[in-house]
Structure formats: C-alpha cells, structure tokens
Amino acid sequence: MNNTRACLACTLGATLIVLNLPVQAGEHSLESTRLLDLSLAELINIPVITASRSAEHRDQTPAHIMVVTREQIRERRYKNLADLLQDMPGVDFQRGTKSSQFNQFTVQGNLGPNRLLVLLDGVRISQPSAGSYPVAENLALYQAKQVEFLYGPAAALYGADAVSGVVNIITEAGNHTDGSWFSVGGGNFNSREYSFMTGFTGGNNLSLSLGGHWQESDRARLDKLYKSDYRKVDTSTKDQNGEPFIRAADRERYRGEVSSHSLFARLDWADQLTLGYYRHHYTNLTSTTDPYATTHYSSKARWITTSDTLYGSYRFAPTDKLDARLQLDYSRMEVDPRSHYNNRYNGFAPGYSYSYGRRIGIEQSFDWSWTDQQQVQFGLGAQHFKAIEGGSMPYKYNTGKTPGQQDMLYPNTTLPMDIAHDRNQSYFGYTQLLSEWSDSLSTTVGFRFDHHTVYGDSFNPRLGVVWKAHDRHLFKLLYGEAFRAPSADEGLSGYGTFNATPNTDGLYEGSGFRVANPDLKPEKARTLGLVWEWRPTRNLNLVSNLYHSHISDLIVTGNREDNTTAIAGAILKNASQKVNAGRQRQTGLDLSAQWRFRLDDNWSGDLWASAGWIHGRVKESGVDRKIPYVSTYRFKAGTTFRYQDHVTITPKLRWTGSVTNGRTRPPEDDNLPSASCSSSKKAPGRCATPGYAVLDTHLGWHNILHSPASLWLDVYNLTDKRYYAAAGSGNHTFWDMPQQPRTWVVSLEWHF
C-alpha cells in the first residue's frame, strides 16, 4: 500500500500534462480504423483518430485529439456528454446556469455549444439553425463505442461552428462488444433513470442497433441550502398600483426539476449502407438561474427542447485507390410551443416562446491514395436551412399555421406581432493533402470554401506540420481558421414588453426590448496551436497543448440607436440588438497525462490528470474585459482501480480558480444576491465567482454472484461542499449560481 501511495503521489506531481490516449476510431470516426480487443499495454501504441475524414496514423495528424473508449465511459460513469466534457482538459463546465440551454461551458476560452460542433457518427446533432441548445442529460452516451474530441478550429473540413473543436460520438453496428444490456437506477432528490442498448446481426448482412434512455429528477431544494440567495422576497417589479406582483408572504417554494429522454436506432447493410435515427429531448424550468425577486417558480413554466436527426450513408470504391461516401442527413430542433417563462420581463404572466430550426444536407466525400506518400481527401455538398423565432408571445405558437398567419398582438397593445422566419442555403467544397516526406516529417495542407445565400462567402485554410523528433517525442504545429454563422436567435428573434397605455404621441412605450438584426456577419476565428507529446514509457503518455486564438466580428449585445423605427407604432426605451461589435483574444496552455499501471496480479488501473491556464480579453462596444466563464486555472484528476473483473473504484477531483462571470458591475437591486465584484471604473470585467474543489466517487461491483450484472454507486460532490458557478451577465439574474449538494444514485446494470 505504501508503494501504491508513492506511485500516486509521484504521478500527480508530474501531471502538468494533457491526456491524449491513442485509441482507434470507428468506421464513422475521423479515422476509419476498426475497434480491436487489445490489452492495456497494446492500447498505448495503436493508431488514433485524426482531424481528417479518413485514416491517418496518430503520428501524422497535426491536431490535438483525445479519445474516450467505451471502457472509460463506463468506468468513469460518463452517463452523458456533459459528464464527459466536465472532465476534459481546457473545458470550464458550469451546470444549471442558463435557463434556455441549462448548462454553460467554454472550450479553451470559446463560449457555448454553438462554437463546439457535436456529431454522431460524423453527422451534426447540434442546433440546425446554429443556436444554443441543452448539453445535459439529454445527450446520453449509452450508444457510444467511443467519443472523439478534436481541439481547435476545424472549419476546413466540417464547416460552420467548428470554432473551439469537434466532438464525434461513435456508435457501432449490430451485436455489440458488450452484448445487450439494460440499466435501472434511482437516488436522492427523487431521481430516476433507465437506459438500454441492444442489437443483432441477421441474414443478408443486415445488422441493427437500438437503444434509449429516460431520466428525471427534482434536484435539490436550493432555497434550504443557500438561504441568503433564495430569500422569499417581494417581486422587484410592481403592478399598475405600485404593489409587488407577488409579496414575500405569498411566495411559492423553490423548484428545479429536470427530465430527459432519447432514442437511437441504426441499421447497417454489410459495410456499404448505414441508416440512422437519433432523438433527444430535455425539459427544465425557465427559472433555472433566477432568484425570487425576479421570477415565479411555476412547474408549468418550462423550456422543452426536442431534436431529431435522420441520416444515411452509402460507401463505395470507384477504384483501388479511391474510396467514396455519399451522406444525406435531416435534422430539426424545436422548442415546444408550450414553453414559456413567468417573470419580471413579462409582468409575471405567461410569456410564450417558440423556436424551430431545420437543416437538410447532402455531401459527397472522397479519399484518394494519390501516391504511397500523399493522400488527398476532398468533397462537396449543400445544405438547406429553415428557422422560426418567436418571443414574448401572448399565447402558444400554432404549428398548424405559418408564421405570418399567427395573428398575434404584442401584449397590452393593438400592434401586430411579427414572427421572424427565414430560409437559406449554403454550398461548400473542401480538400486536404497529407504528405509524408519521411518517417519523421509530414505536412497537411487544406482549405474549405463555403457560400451562404445570406452571409456570403467564407474561406478557411488549415496548415499543419508533424515532426517526430524521436520515438518518444512528437511535435505538432497547426494553424487553422473557422467561422460561426449567426444563429437564428441572434439574427431574427426579438422580445420585450409594452406599457398598456400609449404616450401623448400615440406610441406604445416598450422596455426590455431586444430587436432583430438580419444584417449580422459570421464570426471569424484564427488559432495557432503547438502540441508536444512525450511517451517516456510504454504505459505513460504526456502532452502539452499551447494555443493562441483570435476572434473578430464577435457577436455581442449592443444598443439600438434608433428606437422609433424597430416596431411601427412604438418607441422602445434603451432597446438592444445583437451586433458584430466585439473581438476576443486568448492564450492558453493545457497539460495532461495518462498512466496505465498494474499493481499485482489482481489490481490494475488508470490515472489521468490535466492542468490548464488561460488569459484572454474580450472587447465589445468599447468595453475591454476578461473573457467570461473561464477559470484562471484548473486542475482535474481521476483514477480507476480494478480488482480482477469484480470491482472498480473511480474517484475524480475538479479544482478550479475563480471564474469570470460576465459582469461589469454588481446588481443594483437590494433583493438580489450579493456580489463579489470590484466596482473600480479602471478595471471593468474583473467580477468573478470564487473557485472550488469538488470530489466525485464511483464504485462498481461486477459479475455479482457469477451473474452478468453490475451494481453501481455514483456519489457526486462527496464532501457536500457548497459552491457556486458563474451565472451570467445582466443586472436582474443570479450573480453566482448555487450548485447541487451531495447527490447519489444507485443503479443495476444487466448484460444479456
């Protein structure tokens, strides 16, 4: 045991490193090698995925890529993509901090899910109209054979929104390596969860995979745990008589329940044809980030988001040196018409919102072995988009009618409401050349051209050099550019409230308005990255990732100069809109390690850890401040101990410094939670949420009584620490978002 402690201490002391475990990819991965059943030692030296869409050896791709295997997903208890991202180097993940998308996160300083492209078997499952969406329990990983995480801009191959990176969830056909299984579990706060996965291979080379999950939880009573933050106070907004809409004595109890479900199906014919379907659904209260002063905790006021993706892929080989794939996909994401909020922004009456995005895509890609030393990937395709955005509506959107047929009036007025909608197309072509000049040197040159019927043209190059200085030392230099198209929410949506009585000029006066801006341009990102990988031993892998990024034409919230023309018959006080008035720069370093060890004939395990630092500034509308939602430093570590095939123990630690919360000044309302922010005019943007350290532990008992069953105990926030996450900008929402206390779940998993 003393030797074990010494090994752990030694490894933790050396873990200023980044995990880059080289594991193979699946047939729809960014590299097309097959998953093999290998020992732990053999896993260290086999090829991994690449930043291209075809097979490359791990020593050839200039990108920094991490792969998480099915074994790791299971042992580390990554039940969903949020769990996995929370453990990744360079990621600041904050749970339950934004009502419309629930969780908030940054990847190497880049904020939000609309800058990280999420794929399933190489097909987009992100928001079709480029907006934000929940990355939470809805994106479950029961179907994942492995998950690939590509860091840095990848627009040269994947197009819009691949700014901070690409996540690809890889599934497999037919009979799975682990066989079929189902899981049932429950825990405190009335949490319940179910999932299953099955598959079979039949005649005529047909195979089918089918899985799903369902989950719900009341979550903790934060008003009992964080009493000063959730004081039952009067609503800060008054009615026409000057009285609070809801008095403190009449306040309802805090609520915070969430629920999700998903369904996955995949049909394969030989190695040529794949058809797939994926649905994920998430429900959370719209009061997620709001204190009592600003909201009504109603169980009916919810965001309900559903996404459907249908895809097909046909693979063929025109010649011995040319492989091809034709892919068709359809995706839609909808905020249910029942979704509404009930807070100060709509006078504490139901304010309905509706959002709909649809994308239809076709792509033909090729992989050409030009010579023994040169490999070319190229492709072309087209996409068609449709979007509808409606906010501050007096009643539910009627999906049986077009946006122009809704016949709604702005509440308290006789002014007709315009429901924004749009249709557009994009066309693209890309190519990439990989050249192996020697056993130690290779280069990558690629570019992509996109033509968008609304946002114009975008050209994005990608240049990389890989130098293998020694069998154990590898250097990668990569320059890439990427762009993010404005989302339908940013360009189309508008919302706010009106006074019931017109002014002396006969104009209705509106407040809290954000108006649409159809003239937005895409954001442009440029990143230079240097990766150094060192393998001092067969079972130890160390990587450092140094990067510098610059984003121009950053989309931020600006003031609307002309408040009289945005809505006919109205004047809007201090109205705002999204504008291209910002820029962002950041420099960071991520360091991590992976060590696979064996203690004796019975005990083996993994240890992984990462540390990261980042410094960046964002300038918007003349104000220069720190980039938001980013910790000054972060350290993450975990280890899995295995006793034969019977027991696994996985403790995980996350330790972060203070996190910027997007504020430039403290809240002005005395009823809102207190602020931890410098009010110095010389140092705007220095507001921060205090750092924290959180410990999770996962215990697994397998092959129970020689049966194919596993019993799991998952304990989150083991020490029951009260801590906060950065909540967001604005003067009428939480400054620091209280997080969950100790949470536990017991589940039984049965394989058959």
Are 530 and 51 in contact by the 8 Å Cβ rule? The answer is no
For residues 153-181, give the mean pLDDT. Answer: 86
Residue 290: band (very low, low, confident or very high) from pLDDT cuts 50, 70, 90: confident
What is the model's pLDDT at position 548? 97
Residue 664: band (very low, low, confident or very high) from pLDDT cuts 50, 70, 90: low
The whole-model pTM stands at 0.90
Tokens of 13: 């002391």
Per-residue burial over 132-171, b = 16 or more CB atoms within 10 Å of its CB, e = otherwise: bbbbbbbbbbbbbbbbbbbbbbbbbbbbbbbbbbbbbbbb
For residues 16-33, give the mean pLDDT. Answer: 34
What is the model's pLDDT at position 61? 79
Q: Which helix (H) or strand (E) holds 258?
A: strand 258-269
Summarised one tens digit per residue, pLDDT across range 322-345 is: 999 999 999 999 999 999 998 887
The rounded distance, in Å, linking the Cα atoms of 303 and 260 is: 12
For residues 209-221, give the mean pLDDT. Answer: 95
What is the model's pLDDT at position 412? 85
What is the model's pLDDT at position 337? 96
Cα–Cα distances in angstroms (integers) from residue 131 to residues 144, 160, 330, 512, 708, in the given order: 25, 12, 17, 21, 43
The rounded distance, in Å, linking the Cα atoms of 386 and 426 is: 12
CB pairs under 8 A, 24+ apart, for 561-566? 564/507, 566/494, 566/513, 566/515
The residue ranking higher by pLDDT, 34 or 454, is 454
Summarised one tens digit per residue, pLDDT across range 620-655 is: 877 888 898 999 899 999 999 999 989 999 999 999
Q: For residue 560, what is the DSSP state?
A: -
The rounded distance, in Å, linking the Cα atoms of 310 and 120 is: 11
Residue 562: band (very low, low, confident or very high) from pLDDT cuts 50, 70, 90: confident
What is the model's pLDDT at position 15? 30
The rounded distance, in Å, linking the Cα atoms of 605 and 87 is: 18
Summarised one tens digit per residue, pLDDT across range 56-107 is: 445 677 888 999 999 999 999 999 999 999 999 999 999 998 888 899 999 9
Helix (H, G, I), strand (E, B) or coil at 709: strand
Which of 369, 385, 367, 378 is CA-nearest to residue 421? 385
The rounded distance, in Å, linking the Cα atoms of 279 and 268 is: 18
Instruction: Tally the C-alpha atoms within 13 A of residue 587's C-alpha that lie toward its C-beta.
Output: 0
Place of tokens 């649905």: 279
Tokens of 79: 């039940």
Rounded to 5 degrees, what are φ and ψ at 72? -70, -40
What is the span of the domain harbouring residue 335?
A: 2-751
What is the model's pLDDT at position 494? 84
**Strands (DSSP E) along 62-162, which ranges?**
65-69, 91-98, 102-107, 110-111, 116-120, 123-124, 146-151
The residue ranking higher by pLDDT, 688 or 324, is 324
Identity of residue 194: Y
Residue 730, pLDDT > 90, answer no
What does the radius of gyration of the chain's CA atoms come to, in whole angstroms? 26
Residue 155: band (very low, low, confident or very high) from pLDDT cuts 50, 70, 90: confident
Residue 680: band (very low, low, confident or very high) from pLDDT cuts 50, 70, 90: very low
Are 59 and 70 in contact by the 8 Å Cβ rule? The answer is no
Q: For residue 682, what is the DSSP state?
A: T
Which of 447, 391, 379 is CA-nearest to residue 417? 391
In this structure, the strands spanning 523-537 and 540-559 are antiparallel
Helices and strands per DSSP (H, E), number in the chain: 7, 39
The rounded distance, in Å, linking the Cα atoms of 104 and 89 is: 16
Residue 678, pLDDT > 60, answer no
* 594 Cβ contact partners less than 8 Å away, ≥ 6 residues apart: 19, 20, 21, 540, 541, 606, 607, 608
Residue 729, pLDDT > 50, answer yes
Instruction: Tally the C-alpha atoms within 13 A of residue 516's C-alpha that lie toward its C-beta.
Output: 19
> Residue 104: beta bridge partners?
94
Which of 634, 624, 506 is CA-nearest to residue 570? 506
CATH number at residue 152: 2.40.170.20
Helix (H, G, I), strand (E, B) or coil at 185: strand
Work out the number of other CB atoms within 10 angstroms of the CB of residue 726. 27
Domain count for the chain, please give it.
1
What is the model's pLDDT at position 671? 63
Residue 48, pLDDT > 80, answer no
What is the model's pLDDT at position 166? 93
Q: Which helix (H) or strand (E) holds 422?
A: strand 420-436
Are 82 and 98 in contact by the 8 Å Cβ rule? The answer is no
What is the model's pLDDT at position 687? 77
Residue 676, pLDDT > 90, answer no
In this structure, the strands spanning 743-751 and 709-716 are antiparallel
For residues 164-177, give the mean pLDDT. Answer: 84
Summarised one tens digit per residue, pLDDT across range 410-466 is: 988 999 998 999 999 999 999 999 999 998 999 999 999 999 999 899 999 999 999
